Amino acid sequence: MKNYEVFFDLVGKQKHLEKINQELAQPEVWSNHIHTQHLQREKKQLEETIQKITAVEEKKEEIEVLLELKKEGEAVEQELASSLEAFEKLLADLEMETLFIDNDDDRHAILTIHPGAGGTESQDWAQMLLRMYLRYAERRGFKTEILDILPGEEAGLKSATIRIEGSHAYGILSQESGVHRLVRISPFDANRRRHTSFAAVFVYPEIEDDIAIEINPEDLRIDTFRASGHGGQHVNVTDSAVRITHLPTGIVVQCQNERSQHKNKAMAMKVLRARLYELEKKKQQEKLEKLEDAKSNIAWGNQIRSYVLHPYRLVKDLRTRVETSDVDRVLDGDLDEFIKASLLLRYQEKQQQDKKKQASPSP
């Protein structure tokens, strides 16, 4: 379990980074691809954290200087207010990092969106969610790649899969897994009636070679089909898109983003490995929850957030009770308030579980 004192130990992190750099400088290290990959990911994470801690310290010193100038009668109110605002944002970003407690939190993410029952209404809502997450990724400086998208007949989409690359992408976006509910006056209803739509979001950690996921080729059914294009010279005239069905679990993944069938198959396999890994984690977690008898109502628990556009305007998270009336800002990708509250709730629940384990008598 992380604690704040260890996390903000700048000297300790710098020494650890130096140790990793020394290890990476040894030629023999590069013969172990998995270990090298782990070291490089840890190095990048440390460098980013050190940069953030340093920026907070520098901004803190700047504020202290401005406060001294203010005491001496200098007119620095505007500059001081600007520095305080920047300091609060830097500190908030850094505080979020102390809440990443899962071993997979620092991995990249694979996010899928599926509309619920309701036809065009839910498909349009799924399209709105896709835009929201792409905008959120853009705000955080994450790199995104749409791996697969299936448009709806009239509007919206039937499914979408995107890869999101960035610092703690999975740790952040894992809090968005669940059912999202929209209430609004339907733009597709001539009678202007109010409709409720649902869409499910699932987030998986992207699995690299450092975790072995055994997949029996005999358990796979691989189909190829012609990828959808934009028309004209961009029409794909070959069966380059790939759909893979994992027969034991019924999991189906597909990719049509690349023009090469080989590349689409490789990316589809990566998505399949991520989903199988997350499925195994979920099974293990369910076993623990049954042992602790701490499982709540699953049906309600799957619905994580409501977005109401009519008769009033409100976005409310059903887990943390965080809410805002600025619906447009949220749908434009400003999700940090919701995600941070959810990460904090997870952190607190983990602490409670650890206390229960410590208090339980040894077998």
Q: For position 139, what pLDDT does the model report? A: 94
Query: What's the confidence (pLDDT) of residue 33?
Result: 78
Sheet containing strand 157-165, strands side by side? 143-151, 157-165, 109-115, 194-205, 178-185, 303-308, 314-317, 323-324
Judge if 145 and 277 occupy the same domain: yes
Q: Are residues 64 and 119 in the same domain?
A: no
The CATH number linked to 91 is 1.20.58.410
* pLDDT at position 202: 93
Instruction: State which of 97, 131, 149 marks the end of a domain.
Output: 97
59 with 133, same domain?
no
Q: CA-CA distance, 85 to 80, in Å (whole number)? A: 9
- Considering the domain boundaries, does residue 360 fall inside one? no
- Residue 223 and residue 87 in one domain: no
Tell me the per-residue pLDDT of 197-252, one tens digit each, with 9 for 90 and over: 999 999 999 987 667 788 999 999 999 988 765 444 444 446 789 999 999 999 99
Q: Is residue 253 part of a domain?
A: yes
Residue 40 lies in a domain: yes
Same domain, 67 and 192: no
Q: Is the same domain home to 80 and 161?
A: no
What single-letter DSSP state applies at residue 185? Answer: E
Residue where a domain terminates, one of 97, 129, 151 = 97
Residues 174 and 215 in one domain: yes
Instruction: Output phi, psi for 238, to 5 deg.
Output: -120, 160
Q: H helices of the chain, where?
A: 4-7, 10-24, 33-71, 77-97, 120-140, 169-173, 261-292, 298-301, 327-331, 336-359
Whether residues 113 and 139 fall in one domain: yes
Residue 8, pLDDT score: 73
Q: What is the pLDDT along the chain (363 residues), one digit of tens a residue?
A: 345 556 678 888 899 999 999 999 998 888 887 788 778 888 888 898 898 889 999 999 999 999 999 888 888 889 999 999 999 988 888 888 889 988 899 899 999 999 987 789 999 999 999 999 999 999 999 999 999 999 998 899 999 999 999 989 999 999 999 999 999 998 888 788 888 999 999 999 998 766 778 899 999 999 998 876 544 444 444 678 999 999 999 999 999 888 889 999 999 999 999 999 888 888 766 654 554 443 333 233 468 999 999 999 999 999 999 999 999 999 999 999 999 999 999 999 888 888 887 776 655
Indicate whether 102 belongs to any domain.
no
**254 and 227, same domain (yes or no):** yes
Backbone angles phi, psi at 306, to 5 degrees: -115, 135
pLDDT at 210: 62
Do 139 and 190 belong together in one domain?
yes
Residues of the domain holding 223:
109-292+302-354
> Does some domain include residue 91?
yes
Question: Same structural domain for residues 87 and 143?
Answer: no
Please report whether residue 103 resides in a domain. Answer: no
Radius of gyration of the chain measured on its C-alpha atoms? 24
The CATH code of the domain that includes 167 is 3.30.70.1660
Is the residue at 337 inside a domain?
A: yes
Number of domain units in the chain: 2
Does residue 148 sit in the same domain as residue 68?
no
What is the pTM (predicted TM-score) of this model? Answer: 0.78
* pLDDT (0 to 100) of residue 132: 98
Instruction: Specify the 3-state DSSP secondary structure of 258.
Output: coil
Which of the listed residues 39, 68, 97 is the one where a domain comes to its end? 97
pLDDT reported for residue 298:
29
Per the domain annotation, does 225 fall within a domain?
Answer: yes
